[in-house]
Chain A
């Protein structure tokens, strides 16, 4: 029946390009190929976020008076509401985690080298957008922990030289974190960031389809030496492998959503004291911890300002990595990039755990 449907469409729309694409596209097979699936898993989780996010919109109310109650209503009254919310929260965390796995695997395999610089840049932009999703979505249940974490998080923007105060007011929609911040973050979370994601993700996927899979420099050397690298057809082989990985992700996600429900906490109260153990989502924790540890003044500059500038610089280096590491295109794997990656990984790992223990 699928064949008949395809023939019917083909007769009318001429799908020869698609037929050609499906028949011809292949993926190289080598010992590092498992990393190819990490982007696919991340994409799958984006799909989960879109689907569960739309469902949450059916009952969520973005106002300081009703947000907490509406989330409570979702998880207590709506059938399977607890499941949808748990999936959304857990999938968000897995998504950021998988995005990091995908990032570090492309970094260590030097997949960003010419001609794929723009794929890397769009990928790093997507990571920043995903962190924006995480930051804005964290506030939406309007609970105590999120309220104060948002106060601290938006306050950090105040450390940016010259435009800091403006940025704080812009982010908060006023001088304080209030209902105005909530509607602002809501708009960001359900309209602005999704629109940006559509464009940047579209580009990211288009580049990948256009250029095909990158092979690691070691495999490329063998290829240049005349060895034939085995290939597997994209359809159905690679697609089925991809789907298998999606099932693995789904199993992990379902297990987390079922056995480890996401807490709702108590409703935010601007006049309550900050609860002990206040902390942001884990992927901001390493940064948060550094800012906490910095002394008030370093060489006459405010510690926080220096910290924020440092992270800003890291973000720029990350974004422009393909243009900084020019040797990678000629097959020279820079030791600096390898060690930089290892140090970054170690830093995130150690400081995230440290942040948890210290909180």
Chain B
């Protein structure tokens, strides 16, 4: 990101999400289903450097914590635990809006190794929004106990983003996690996030909408994903777009 973009980013974070970063600090969003040890990961990475509050205008908890790795400072934002980010609940909306409009430098999706299949839904949805995703397969120790073997390198190939196995309770895998977050934040990780294949009728509808969407909102958001939200009839999302993007457009127009 250029200097200007970083400032802009800083401004949006503060204005819309009440998150204040120090100059040069990277932001990491932490997403995951409930009960997958997301908080354990959060606590293990940030230690005591945490503070909690609310999302602006929402009665949803917001916990932030910071840590330093290889002289870089990171601010980690713990998103509410959700099963999806299709925004059927306020929690889902908060998580989605942050990933989508807050544009964190990296989004860490924590998955439960013992029920990976169900958890993958969230990872796939996040990967539709942003390529800056790191998948953390937590509770590996539990999975081994339950005789579940997960082929991490195959999973990484399937998903096209870094996959880190952890057992956060025992502190296992946390170093690799920090390193992956670092590499992604400084921009040396290249990902090819797997896109969800939809059934033909959905794909056809997407094709119909995407050209118009990209003409309207430019590359601020993934047009394919916006098309999906519109097809889902998600009116809250349209509100979000106008709320977050119009402000930016107005400002830019003023600047020009």
**A associates with B:** no
B: residues with CB less than 8 A from A are none
